[in-house]
Structure formats: C-alpha cells, structure tokens
Amino acid sequence: MPRNDLKLIGGWYSPFVLRVQIALNIKSLDYENIEETLNPKSDLLLHSNPVHKQIPVLLHAHKPICESGIIVQYIDQIWTNAPSILPQNAYDRANTRFWVSYIDDKLVPSMRNILFAEDEAKKKHFIEVEEVLEVMEDVLKKQSDGKAFFGGDNIGFIDIAFGSLLSWLSVIEELNGRKVLVEAKVPALVKWAEIFADNPSVKGVLPETEKLIEYAKVIQQRYAAAVK
C-alpha cells in the first residue's frame, strides 16, 4: 500500500488514534502519519471531519473515515489478507462490539474524570475504574478460552479498545499514587497487558508514560484555568 494512499490524521497522545495505528500494523499497512496540533485545528482536519472536528481520521485514497471504532472495522473489512480483527461469526461480532462499547461508555469517562476531578470525587471514579477492570477480567477469561488475547490467539477488537488505554491507566496511577491494574485483583488482565504491549503490532506505538504524564499535567492546568 503506497504511503500516499493511506494517511492518518492523529496525535501521539490519543488512545483512539492508537487504536487505528494498531489495526493498521496488524494488517501490515504502510501509511503516512499526520500529527494534528489541534491548537488551532488544521484545515485538513476541519475539511476531513467537519461534523466532530476530532481525531482520528483515516484518509483512504483521499476519502475520510472518522471515529476510531468505525475506522478499525473499516480496515478489517477492506484488508482481509491478515488475521481478522473482528470475529467472522455474526453473534461473536455483535458480542465484541458490545464489550468495546462497554469500555468506551464506562472505563473512558471514569478515567477522564479522575484526571479532572477534585480529590474527594476521584475516589468514586477510582472505584468505577476498578469495577470495570473486574468485569473485564471475567470477560477475558471467558472470551480468550485460555489463549493470550480477548480475540484468542491474535489481537482482536476488544484487545485494541482496551489496550489503547493502558498508557493512560499508568498515568492516572502515577499521578495519584494508586494502582488499579494489580495482580492481586485482576491477574489475567495483568498478564494480558504485558503480552499485549510486547506484541509486534503494538510495540513502539504505545506512548511513554512519562511523556503522557507531562501532557496530562498541561491539560489539567488548562482545565483548571477554564473552570475558574
């Protein structure tokens, strides 16, 4: 795939952009990575995603595809010469989409709230994160059938959705001095996270925790200034 045929408008800090990068890597696709500054938003982003004006956007032959979950499924449907990201069975595909939605509806907001909430409120959101992790521990045991990933032998859609958040989980742990991904509570997830991060499709694209911490402090300061 020529680089000029596939372009990804994204940002190194975004777990949603990371989802697309992992999917592209699974399919061994060559692409041009376009780092979006967002301040101000580029004309390319505004033209490519005029509705939400958000990253990521995948440009395929100059045609934009928006929203990370939609992009990942598009990649899986268009390029079939590599391991499938979603199951072939219709029921299993629906079940996979359910758990990806669960991650986005439950885990992502709670993690975001921890970053911006006051100290007392953070306790509630930490409990929410821990509850989601416990649920996903059970899902992993059932979905993997004893294999390495939620998707079985290979990384699947649930792995991508959940795994894209691992670096940000480390950030909230470090900033608050409270571990949530711990072997005593979620041993299968801890083992899965190590295997996931070491996978060739993932290694090298997961952002460094220290770099993300610095970015998180900047956006926390901006948020604090905006709500004053």
Give burial (CB, 10 Å; 0-12/13-18/19+) of 21.
Answer: buried
Neighbours of 12 (CB within 10 A): 16
- Please report which confidence band the pLDDT of residue 4 belongs to, taking 50, 70 and 90 as the band edges: low
At residue 104, the 3 state secondary structure works out as helix
Q: Which CATH superfamily is domain 6-78 in?
A: Glutaredoxin (3.40.30.10)
pLDDT tens-digit readout, 15-44: 999 999 999 999 999 999 999 988 899 999
Q: What is the pTM of this model?
A: 0.95
pLDDT tens-digit readout, 193-219: 999 999 999 999 999 999 999 999 999
Name 149's bridge partners.
Answer: 152
Distance of alpha carbon 107 from alpha carbon 113, whole angstroms: 10
Q: What is 90-226's CATH number, 2.40.240.10, 3.20.20.70, 1.20.1050.10, 3.90.79.10?
A: 1.20.1050.10
Residues in contact with 15: Cβ distance below 8 Å, sequence separation at least 6, in sequence order? 164, 165, 167, 168
Distance of alpha carbon 173 from alpha carbon 179, whole angstroms: 5
pLDDT at residue number 1 = 44
